[in-house]
A and B are shown apart, each in its own frame.
Chain A
């Protein structure tokens, strides 16, 4: 739970952002994010809320750990499981199938 999960903002409506997590589109809330967020930014998210806008120069380094964890495809791995829980904590996009 300490890990959080980074994703890319692809749309913003009010305080709610649609965020892409490795091809999965989910909604996160922007109520407590540290800086104004724009489409194209990466944000770090925890239990459904964006908690930090990740500076562009740091996106690659931030994503790498998560990409390695998710690429392992090991259902039992604790770190990957925590990352999947963080994605499950985000909201479903109402028109995701549209």
Chain B
């Protein structure tokens, strides 16, 4: 199969067009001026959006009055310390833990899974739910899949459950469902978010229709956007127009990947296996219906039912160093920026992370540390 030349392919595409990019940057300024408030705060809820905004330096081109902040869009980061504690406790009890790589160094209330591994626990990094099945088939001993991620990733967990798990494999679900967290963040006093940019690929599963009740309830517009720099600029322009006009509509600016109803087959699998349950998100406290718990008929596969998970040994360990100074919680709700944190880039770095936001490649701190939050944008200036 001939592989197209990437440079040739991308240079022809309309979203690479610098003229169009400049026009959109001017539109952002014009519409922000027309709104006449400062700041106008828009929130996105996706690590990949933040990566693209930071990587391509988009913030440098935003008008001064426009604030684009990242909310709880990093699934690893919002995994609660108590959920990490459950995984760590199981690992220290001698159970094999399989989990996505980003989870390894996320701090629990005392230890991370990497710390447990350093103490001799069996912690395995996997890239897919299917690899948890392969691991269980290989090791024969009890394996727990510490399953994290938003609805997009939970679909894969649902798929392996529906296919049938090996007897020695169970699931510790820390899966999260984004729309209820948007409800919580939209109500945070003082945050004053005026519109949400929703993540394209999560909406591939849920469909953009999932945001309509939210938009109506909070009287806030939602725009679904893709991950190209120009996809994001176009999404922000549309979102600002809706803010200016006071229209709490849901608009899909990513039709090449997102439909109104979404992927019905994936939704059927997701809701056959999981049900919404209220639980803690790191930094956000309790999110009503924000967790995805295994349904009762799958209780036999639920690690919380299969094992007595004893987190008391963790109380013997001191809390992670500097944890009390970490601003991760308020960074994840969009109240603070990484640069507001005294630890950022000093005591807290990707090599020596203090908080979850510096661990995950989708965490705001990690992304800002890599790319800078507001780098120059020479060719669009």
Binding site for B on A (CB under 8 A): 1-4, 8, 10, 20, 22-23, 29, 31-34, 44, 46-49, 51-52, 54-55, 58, 60-65, 67-68, 70-71, 76-79, 81-82, 85-86, 88-91
Total CB contacts across the A-B interface at under 8 A: 151
Which partner residue on chain B sits nearest A53 by CB separation?
A: B263
Contact assessment for B127 and A88 in the assembled complex, using a CB-CB cutoff below 8 Å: yes
Kindly list chain B residues whose C-beta atoms are within 8 Å of the C-beta of A48: 127-131, 156
Which of A64, A70, A89 makes the CB contact (< 8 A) with B127? A89
Contact assessment for B266 and A32 in the assembled complex, using a CB-CB cutoff below 8 Å: yes
Q: How far is the CA of A2 from the CA of B264 in the complex (A)?
A: 19
Which of B127, B149, B205, B228 makes the CB contact (< 8 A) with A85? B127
Which of B7, B48, B101, B130 makes the CB contact (< 8 A) with A91? B130
Contact assessment for A67 and B10 in the assembled complex, using a CB-CB cutoff below 8 Å: yes
Contact assessment for A47 and B128 in the assembled complex, using a CB-CB cutoff below 8 Å: yes
Which of B10, B52, B129, B155 makes the CB contact (< 8 A) with A51? B155
Contact assessment for A61 and B15 in the assembled complex, using a CB-CB cutoff below 8 Å: yes
Contact assessment for A10 and B1 in the assembled complex, using a CB-CB cutoff below 8 Å: yes
Which of B6, B153, B201 makes the CB contact (< 8 A) with A67? B6
Kindly list chain A residues whose C-beta atoms are within 8 Å of the C-beta of B127: 47-48, 85-86, 88-89
Contact assessment for A31 and B9 in the assembled complex, using a CB-CB cutoff below 8 Å: no
Q: Identify the interface centre among B16, B150, B152, B256: most chain A CB within 10 Å of its CB.
A: B256
Task: Tell yes or no: B366 within 8 A of A by CB.
Answer: yes
Q: How many residues of B contact A (CB 8 A)?
A: 59
Which partner residue on chain B sits nearest A2 by CB separation?
A: B48
Q: How far is the CA of A67 from the CA of B10 in the complex (A)?
A: 8
Kindly list chain A residues whose C-beta atoms are within 8 Å of the C-beta of B55: 77-79
Q: How far is the CA of A55 from the CA of B262 in the complex (A)?
A: 14
CB distance from A63 to the nearest CB of B (A): 7
Which of B6, B131, B202 makes the CB contact (< 8 A) with A70? B6
CB distance from B154 to the nearest CB of A (A): 10
Contact assessment for B1 and A20 in the assembled complex, using a CB-CB cutoff below 8 Å: yes
Contact assessment for B263 and A51 in the assembled complex, using a CB-CB cutoff below 8 Å: yes
Kindly list chain B residues whose C-beta atoms are within 8 Å of the C-beta of A3: 48, 201, 227
- Known contacts A22-B3, A47-B127, A68-B6; decide if A62 and B265 are in contact (CB<8 Å): no
Q: How far is the CA of A60 from the CA of B13 in the complex (A)?
A: 8
- Known contacts A32-B266, A60-B13; decide if A4 and B201 are in contact (CB<8 Å): yes
Contact assessment for B266 and A65 in the assembled complex, using a CB-CB cutoff below 8 Å: no
Which B172-222 residues have C-beta < 8 A from chain A? 199-202, 204-205
Task: Tell yes or no: B257 within 8 A of A by CB.
Answer: yes
Task: Tell yes or no: B37 within 8 A of A by CB.
Answer: no
Kindly list chain A residues whose C-beta atoms are within 8 Å of the C-beta of B262: 34
Kindly list chain B residues whose C-beta atoms are within 8 Å of the C-beta of A91: 128, 130
- Known contacts A3-B227, A71-B7; decide if A49 and B155 are in contact (CB<8 Å): yes
Q: How far is the CA of A67 from the CA of B262 in the complex (A)?
A: 26
Q: A49-B156, A51-B204 are in contact. List 16 more A-B contacts (CB 8 A).
A: A1-B153, A2-B201, A2-B202, A2-B362, A33-B265, A44-B201, A47-B153, A48-B129, A61-B13, A61-B15, A65-B227, A67-B10, A78-B367, A78-B370, A78-B371, A82-B51
Q: How far is the CA of A55 from the CA of B10 in the complex (A)?
A: 18
Task: Tell yes or no: B110 within 8 A of A by CB.
Answer: no
Contact assessment for B48 and A82 in the assembled complex, using a CB-CB cutoff below 8 Å: yes
Kindly list chain A residues whose C-beta atoms are within 8 Å of the C-beta of B107: none
Kindly list chain B residues whose C-beta atoms are within 8 Å of the C-beta of A10: 1
Kindly list chain B residues whose C-beta atoms are within 8 Å of the C-beta of A51: 152, 155, 201, 204-205, 263, 266
